[in-house]
Structure 1
Amino acid sequence: MRVLVTGSSGFVGGALVDHLRSRGVDVRGLSRKAAAGSLVGDLLDRPSLDAALAEFQPAVVVNLAAETDLKGAPKNGYRANTEGVSNLLDAVRSSRSVERVIWASSQLVCQPGVLPASDTDFDPVGGYGASKAEGERLVREADGAGRTWTIVRSTTIWGPGMSEHYLGILRLIQRGLYFHVGRKPLRKSYSYIENLTAQLATLIASPATSVHGRVFYLADSEPVELRAWADGFAQAFGRRIPTLPRPVAALLARVGDVMAAFGLRAPLTTARLRNMLTEYLYDTSPIEALHGPTRIDNAEGVRRTSAWLSSQSSSRASGSEADAPAA
């Protein structure tokens, strides 16, 4: 079986390529920039997709390429999530080799903390969530270009190699600048990266009748309890996290709103506080019926991630010392 992974230069795409290679799968990545073992292609460039499929002749495509707003407004206005999906559908329809496509969506097609009544019950969060909901609609409307199709909705993904956006919390903990808000337990469905790639590998190999036309939330079997999760990192970094009463946090958030209105960088805003305090749990029983429970628990994930982050910090410190001018 040959597998093509779009967005292979990203966190999840790169991890999936590595995971599949470790299992002996003939896999190639597709990204906009040339890289060893990958093909060059862009979802917004239909001819490049046709060329990649014709050259590699994959049986399975995992579409992880997307435009996000993690670094501000996207350059192409989320076109990769809509127009790019249309282009890939057309390319798959014209391909003689592709039998199955896994389409990556997001939990943000519906408000966090609100369980949708059906797979098409959308209440998206922002432009990104709306673009992912539209991408799902396009896949359904085209019946996956006549191939076996599956939609996966990811949640917060963490682990070694995670993006700077999500690393922000861990760096605050590492520097002793993070605080808990209130003492109420908060559970969230997170995805440790090695568990996520294993789940994707299962969907690639499962019988078509088990996955065709279905939506799966991919998350760890064990939700994180946010206080315990953050405290695990704090312990690894030799820190202790203080607790801020909710009324005080709400007041600081309102001050942050004012700062943000004047273009100043605010450590806490009302929107960020609301996100921190929103509990969201998703039903992972559908993916567990195929894959079983996820293997790496939160404690082990924290251990591996904190070790990785500490090694990254040490490498940067060593690099800075090496670059410093001699006295």
Structure 2
Amino acid sequence: MEGCILITGASGFIGTNLQELLIKNRCNFVNFDKNKPTKKEHMQYWFKGDIMNLSDLSIAFSKYSPSVVIHLAAVTDTSSDNLDDYKENTIGTKNVIDEILKHPNIERCIIASTQYVYKSLKSPFPNSDDEYLPHTTYGISKKETEEIVRNSSLKCCWTIVRPANVWGPWHMRYPEQLWKFMDKGWYIQPTKRPVIRTYAYVKNLIHQLNGILNAEPGIVNKQTFYLGDLPIDSNVWLSEWMYQLRGKNLRYIFPFVMHSAAIMGDVLKKFGVKFPMYSVRYKNMLEDYYAPTNVTIRLFGLYNDDLASNVKETVDWLHGDAKLYFDYWKLRSK
């Protein structure tokens, strides 16, 4: 890929891994982000800018004259029920698209959405790219993100990508939540019944993103791709983590016990008290939620399809670079 690649939000989890690949491939790129890069080695690629600030966007696009834009910047948590908390996903995306329209030299753009724009237990896959059924406010904001792109007058090659549940090195939330709870032996699964989910090892996702970036326009223009691994029983995924972190089997508990804890979490949330279990999370643990990543895998493949080695790579990161960011893992590794 010739020319400069401008990436919004590359200081985040996916962006950090994307930068690693682009550096390895000797690509010319810039990270447009309001936050500093997660890795200090990435500082040289950082342009401090906010997608909510039109002046920042104008200056960056004029300075770097990108031929490609990868739009990752977003609010990605699912905790809020207020759509205004996700203005960066809607207004921010519109600002980016409007800036792209001012620069005819831009050849293509990739816009990050989410699997959360559609969820149905009756019909797991949407019938078309523009069929939506979001189940969270975050998902609603990303639905609007996609509609902004689809309704725009973009002349360049554009592609929407929907990452599944992403995990791997440089994830900055799981080390303090899921992986920490598992390492301490606190994690308990409420069912032995298979719960089919689509996960995305971040290096597999980046491999697919790079494939889309370098694909012929006829394959990816005005297309939507789910990014991630093939669907898997979440018990298998969790069991591999438990084995590699603690050398023990995954533990289970009666569903009604976990359900009671979730109700308590809902009550505490109303009083502003954080609790690791609440109804939405409990429901997600019991429901299938998989995506048609087979189409993406057929076209662009995977970095590595071996779950055990991908988990090991992430565990090695937890006991390595993650120690610089998380006290728990720093102490755990001593």
CA distance in 2, matches of 1:80, 1:314: 30
Q: TM-score with structure 1 length normalisation?
A: 0.89
Q: Judging changes above 3 Å, is the alpha-carbon distance between structure 1 residues 294 and 153 closer, same or farther for their aligned structure 2 residues?
A: same
| Residue aligned with 2:26, SS | coil
Task: Pick which of 93-102 and 291-300 moved more.
Answer: 291-300
Contact 2:208/2:302 (8 A) holds in 1: no
State yes or no: 1:290 paired with 2:292: no
CA distance in 1, matches of 2:83, 2:133: 24
Unmatched segments (≥5 aa) in structure 2: 37-42
- Structure 1 residue 297: deviation in Å? 2.1
Which residue of the partner structure matches residue 125 of structure 1? 135
| Residue aligned with 1:203, SS | helix
Unmatched segments (≥5 aa) in structure 1: 322-327
Give identity over the alignment, percent: 29
Which residue of the partner structure matches residue 18 of structure 1? 20
Which residue of the partner structure matches residue 61 of structure 2? 53
- Structure 1 residue 67: deviation in Å? 1.8
Q: Judging changes above 3 Å, is the alpha-carbon distance between structure 1 residues 231 and 320 closer, same or farther for their aligned structure 2 residues?
A: closer
CA distance in 2, matches of 1:314, 1:152: 31
Q: Judging changes above 3 Å, is the alpha-carbon distance between structure 1 residues 253 and 104 closer, same or farther for their aligned structure 2 residues?
A: same
- Structure 1 residue 283: deviation in Å? 1.0
Which residue of the partner structure matches residue 116 of structure 1? 126
Which residue of the partner structure matches residue 100 of structure 1? 108
Which residue of the partner structure matches residue 311 of structure 2? 302
Contact 2:120/2:133 (8 A) holds in 1: no
| Residue aligned with 1:4, SS | strand
Contact 1:60/1:99 (8 A) holds in 2: yes
CA distance in 2, matches of 1:319, 1:186: 33
CA distance in 2, matches of 1:252, 1:319: 30
Task: Pick which of 82-91 and 197-206 moved more.
Answer: 82-91
- Structure 1 residue 71: deviation in Å? 6.9
Contact 1:181/1:245 (8 A) holds in 2: yes
CA distance in 1, matches of 2:171, 2:189: 22
Give the CA RMSD over aligned residues: 2.5
Correspondence list, 1:52-201, <5 A: 52-69=60-77, 77-111=85-119, 113=121, 114-143=124-153, 145-165=154-174, 167-201=176-210
Q: Judging changes above 3 Å, is the alpha-carbon distance between structure 1 residues 132 and 21 closer, same or farther for their aligned structure 2 residues?
A: same
Q: Paired residues, what number?
A: 319
CA distance in 2, matches of 1:170, 1:318: 10
Contact 1:224/1:298 (8 A) holds in 2: no
- Structure 1 residue 198: deviation in Å? 0.8
CA distance in 1, matches of 2:35, 2:321: 24
